[in-house]
Structure 1
Amino acid sequence: MSKTYYTIGSFAKRTSTTERTLRYYDRKGLLKPSAYNEQGHRIYTDEDLFRLHQILNLKYLDYSLDEIGKYLKQDNQDYLTSLDMQYELLLQRQQHIQHVVATIERVRAIVKENHTMDPELIMLMIHSIQHEGKMKEWIAERLPEAFVQSIFKSGPSLESELMIGLNDLLVMHKQGLEPGHPLVQEHALTLKGLFDQLMGQPLEELAFSETGRIMGEEMDPHFPGSFEPSFKSYLFEVLGHLLIPQPSAQAE
């Protein structure tokens, strides 16, 4: 079968790219022309067309040029094998996109319940949902199955109420209300009830248990996406008023 040959200009036009891009891919080692003519001009063939198609597909999927280069080195030039590999990459990217869409849907549903949701909390929600699978796996290796199931089967309603409760306390923290303020403690009591429901046990029992120690001391370094230290301390102090009896004023 005779080959079709293309100059760099005709090749660029056929592939809806630019001569500058083709020269750049040449310098990067991604797409070398099949030959050069007597004047030293690049000559491309249909095999180059297929390789460029691979590059453009992977670039469309947001793969870096370095990642594309590694992929192309693994390619044995068998068209079916190459298409199979691209198909698998597409499936992986599809799963990633679906996960991102599901994350945004969950966060949107919560924000709709409270239009004044703090941006810090929104970012925390996105981070937590994105790492939910790894977090569940990490917890499952260390804690009882019943506890794991309780946490990760809370449902959208409880998740939304928890985030709104945390948001209320975050707003009060930024307003400068003290942890022991009656309004703060009123919201904290509601939040504690939600945490009790989520954890499947009273928070005061969890706080002083081995499970609580693992969640607090060992988990944080592995999943650092959390509140700012100042609010984290504030939250612990707020809940501490509920978990640890506070000294009452002496009656006159």
Structure 2
Amino acid sequence: MMAKFRAIPEGFMTVGEVAKKMGVTVRTLQYYDKEELLSPSAESEGGRRLYTDKDLIMLHQIISLKSLGFSLKDIKGRLNSLKTPAEVANALTEQADDIRQKIAQLQTSLSEIEQLKVEVLQIQTVDFKKYADIIVNLQMKNDSYSLIKSFDDDTLDQIRSRFDKKSGQDFMDRLNRVSDQIVELQKENVPAESEQCQQVVQEYWTLITEFTNGDMTMLPKLMEVGNIDTATNAWEEKQKIVNSYLEPALQVYFSRLGTNPFEEV
């Protein structure tokens, strides 16, 4: 129950004093009171709402969580009672964890902005469609985003029409998994004609067919993009290894099929 006082006793603050101390508006504090997020601990006989130092600590929690992007509804469920030192420490631990998470998110955003800036300067022309593709790839944590700038607009339009963020991520996960298998085969010097190698090559070729949707006219463009002279990042470095191992392995695969899509194109 809220305590009532004839006058404002020592240790209590009016809504205006709290607003000034904490850098918020009186209207904000009145709204928090109305929403039962932070109600003042006492009231004077004249009806003035009175706050304590504990209320200030609670308000600090609210401001901190709000700055991290939590809704008032979320904050309401996260506020601690703060009756014991352990509860205060627990509240601070939770806030610290939330802030660390936010820092990580901001660091990722900063990294994405810096990478996009590099790509924008390399593309040389203003191309918002391409920028958008790069952003989506960056958000997917897809290291192969540098490929985007190498595709022409027709190829990119085909890719956009067939893949959204979810299906694109799924495809890249499968491609990277197969690429990792190929790197391992290369390390172990597994022969191109071996059953182990041919099984992985078949899986890789299935992915290429899925990517092109069976349109073999895309193959020369893929070959051009995949021809990496000097690797500029870890993904490209891996692709160089994959490409060098795949070339003879695909020749064996196609000779067994009795057809070579590359030659036909």
**Range class of TM-score, shorter chain:** 0.5 to 0.7
User: C-alpha offsets along residues 18-52 of structure 1, whole Å, 9 cap, x if unaligned?
Assistant: 11000111122211111222233211111100011
Q: How far has the Cα of 1:212 moved from its partner?
A: 5.5
Q: Which residue of 1 aligns with 2:60?
A: 53
1:94-133 aligned at under 5 Å gives the runs 94-116=103-125, 118-132=127-141
Partner of 2:171: none
RMSD after superposition: 3.8
Q: Which residue of 2 aligns with 1:209?
A: 202
Question: How far off is 1:131 after superposition?
Answer: 2.1
- Is the alpha carbon distance of 1:215 and 1:103 closer, same or farther for their aligned partners in structure 2, counting shifts above 3 Å? farther
Following TM superposition, by how much is the alpha carbon of 1:241 offset from its aligned partner in structure 2, in angstroms?
Answer: 6.5
- Aligned-pair distance for 1:237? 6.1
Contact 1:110 1:163 in 2 (8 A): no
1:83 maps to what in 2? 92
Please say if residues 3 and 46 of structure 1, whose CA atoms lie closer than 8 Å, have aligned partners that are also in contact.
no
Distance 1:18 1:58 in 2: 17
Question: SS at the partner of 2:50?
Answer: strand
Residue number in structure 2 paired with 1:239:
218
Give the structure 2 partner of residue 27 of structure 1: 34
Task: Give the C-alpha shift of residue 94 in structure 1.
Answer: 0.7
Amino acid in structure 1 at the alignment position of 2:202: S
Q: Structure 2-normalised TM-score?
A: 0.55
Structure 1 residues 173, 99: closer, same or farther in 2, change over 3 A? closer
Q: Any idea what SS the aligned residue of 1:43 has?
A: strand
8 A Cα contact 2:130 2:149, kept in partner = no
Please name the residue that 2:71 is paired with.
64
Partner of 1:141: none
Bigger drift between 87-96 and 237-246 goes to 237-246
User: Do the aligned partners of residues 215 and 71 (structure 1) sit closer, same or farther apart at CA in structure 2, a change above 3 Å counting?
Assistant: farther
Matches within 5 A, 1:88-237: 88-116=97-125, 118-132=127-141, 160=146, 162-166=147-151, 169-170=152-153, 199=179, 209-211=202-204, 213=206, 236=215
For the Cα contact (< 8 Å) 1:5–1:43, is it kept in 2? yes
Cα displacement (A) at 1:76: 3.8
Q: 2:23 aligns with which of 4, 16, 24?
A: 16
**Structure 2 residue 8 is the aligned partner of structure 1 residue 4:** no
For residue 209 of structure 1, give the secondary structure of its aligned residue in structure 2: helix
CA distance in 1, matches of 2:54, 2:209: 57
Shift of 1:3: 6.2
5+ residue gaps, structure 2: 1-8, 158-174, 184-197, 222-259
Structure 1 gaps of 5+ residues are 136-151, 175-194, 221-231
Identity across matched positions, percent: 28
- Larger Rg computed on CA atoms: 2
Within 2, Cα distance between the matches of 1:85 and 1:216? Answer: 49
- Please state whether the residue corresponding to 2:59 is helix, strand or coil: helix
What does the per-residue CA deviation read over 1:97-133, in whole Å, with 9 as the maximum and x for residues that have no partner? Answer: 111111222222122111225222222222222222x
In 1: Cα distance, 2:128 partner to 2:100 partner: 32
How many pairs were matched up? 180
Letter in 2 for 1:8: V
Supply the distance in 1 between the matched residues of 2:56 and 2:217 (Cα, whole angstroms): 65
